Amino acid sequence: MASWGAGFAVATELTTSLINGVIEKYLAPLRARGDLTFVRKLGWVGEVSATLEGLTLEDLEDPAPVGGGVETDLEAEVSLDYRFFWIIRGRPTLTATIDNALVDLPTTPAGLPRGIVLAIAKGFAIRVRFEDARGIVGWLLNRLIGPLLSLGIWLAFTILRRVELPIWPLVDVFNAVGLLFAPGSPLLTAQSQSGDNSLLLASDFNVTGARGDASRFASFVPAGANAAAVVHERVVAAAVELALAKGWAPRRFTADGWKIYINDINVAFKKDTIEASGTVKAKWGGCWCRVKARITFRAGLRPSVVGPPGQNPVIHFGYDAAAETEISCSGFLLVLGVIMAAPLFLALTLLASSLVNLLPKELIPFVTKPRAHGLTLTVDMASIGFSGVAPFRMELPLALEGHGTYDLSRYTRFDLPALWGVDPTMIVEYTDESLSVDEGELRLGAKLV
């Protein structure tokens, strides 16, 4: 199978339909309150009004060399209402196009990505000509209405230029856990090979080794979604190492009679399974036997999204045990739950935050607090410094037949940046196809409306 993320550590894809939807989120309120209608009274000649009905990205292209900049063709739809000499009236709809506008990735002074905007040259000017209009009507259209339309469209593009598309500053997530972008990352590109034309933001990090190849990108948005994010296992493995090194996840802990020290841990994504393996040192209570154990472990959790649209979506996961040949030892299952919490939390949180970045900066550094009750291990990831930040919570099963949960309700809505008094809200919808795991990669797709 081809790699979703083209070998990059993290990739996020936004389709043109989503981008156009975001633009419309800003334009619709402005249009409703008349801010996109431009009226000119012409005395005894008459009156003209023009309304910007919509702005659309027609396509997205990344001409060679790949990663050098994304181009798009923009289309503005304008409805006119003119009345000349109180007898000549027309209500035409016009479409104006600007070719090869650039899509830009502005950065902070430190060089970190801030968002994605359309970059239209300062000298940009649009001229509208009514070629077929003759006589006095043609003169009026071309000399009075044409410039008016140009002004309106220019204003619209100015609006568009300030609309930051919902690829969020990845620095929030990855920089916070200590992953720094590799040179050349993040990279903005586009693909038009498959599905909708789409924008792609791809990154590699300093500690994650191999580099991706942007020319290999094809759409990886799952059916029914308009945005998706992919994280590679090497990002999560590096994040887990960092979390253990910094003490956010426990390297040593007690669970029932077991005292555990994690020697090493690796994270791998296999078909439908998030897997962790490694070795631990174990000691049992007072240990009458006077021995310690070196345990080589491997466990896999199979995640999936459940919950129909409109209800709180939840990621469910269960252990990949073979019912015929594997049994559980409740003490070690508790140990396994604590060990698995960090890979699972970091994998799902980094992934969800690549799509909808709602991870509060204040969560990090966090502390892991496991608590067992009945057949469930509840693990809270709680901010160390900010008591006001609600802990992220996961539940892991303490029976092989059970299932654990990770609540996605934090990731179901978010506000776009306020602009001219408009602060649209995006709703995030998940389906049972939203989450997928394949060799080396974990993907989350959603429909943002």
Partner 1 sequence: MLLSTPTETEELAIESIAPTAVEPGAAFTIRVAVVAHRRSELLAVEWVVPQGVTTGGPLADAGDGLPRALDSGTHYELKYAFSTAREYETFGQITGTLHFRPDGDGERSVSWSACIGVFPRAVARARRPLSDGLRHRLITAVNFDAANGHAFLVDFCAFFDDFCNVEVPMEIASKVSDELGLADQGLPLPAAQAPPDEAAPWVSDGPVFDDLQIINIRKQHYVNAVLGQTRIYGIERLELVPEEECNDSDGRFDLRAASDATEEFTEVEHG
The residues that touch partner 1, with contacts defined as CB under 8 A, are: 250, 252-259, 261, 263-264, 277, 281, 283-299, 319, 321, 325-334, 336, 338, 368-378, 399-403
Min dist CB 381 to partner 1, Å, is 13
State the DSSP string of 230-241: EEEHHHHHHHHH
Q: Is there a contact between 8 and 203 (Cβ–Cβ < 8 Å)?
A: yes
Q: Distance from first CA to last CA of the chain, Å, rounded?
A: 30
Which C-beta is closer to partner 1: that of 199 or that of 381? 381
Q: State which H helix or E strand residue 351 sits in.
A: helix 330-355
Which C-beta is closer to partner 1: that of 131 or that of 324? 324
In whole angstroms, what is the distance from residue 80 CA to residue 392 CA? 52
Min dist CB 361 to partner 1, Å, is 24
Alpha helices in 80-181 (DSSP H): 135-140, 146-161
Min dist CB 333 to partner 1, Å, is 7
Q: Judge if the upstream peptide bond of residue 365 is cis by omega within 30 degrees of 0.
A: yes
Which C-beta is closer to partner 1: that of 92 or that of 247? 247
Measuring CA to CA, how many Å separate 235 from each of 14, 142, 209? Answer: 21, 57, 9
Which C-beta is closer to partner 1: that of 96 or that of 336? 336
In whole angstroms, what is the distance from residue 337 CA to residue 356 CA? 27
Q: C-alpha angle 191/194/200, rounded to 5°?
A: 30
Which C-beta is closer to partner 1: that of 286 or that of 310? 286
Tokens at residue 306, please? 């459940």
Min dist CB 266 to partner 1, Å, is 13
In whole angstroms, what is the distance from residue 178 CA to residue 187 CA? 19
Which C-beta is closer to partner 1: that of 109 or that of 286? 286
Which C-beta is closer to partner 1: that of 48 or that of 274? 274
Which C-beta is closer to partner 1: that of 62 or that of 275? 275
In whole angstroms, what is the distance from residue 338 CA to residue 123 CA? 59
Min dist CB 395 to partner 1, Å, is 10
Type of residue at 228:
A
Min dist CB 275 to partner 1, Å, is 11
In whole angstroms, what is the distance from residue 377 CA to residue 60 CA? 47
Nearest to 78 by CA among 48, 40, 50, 47: 50
- Rg, Å, the chain Cα set: 27
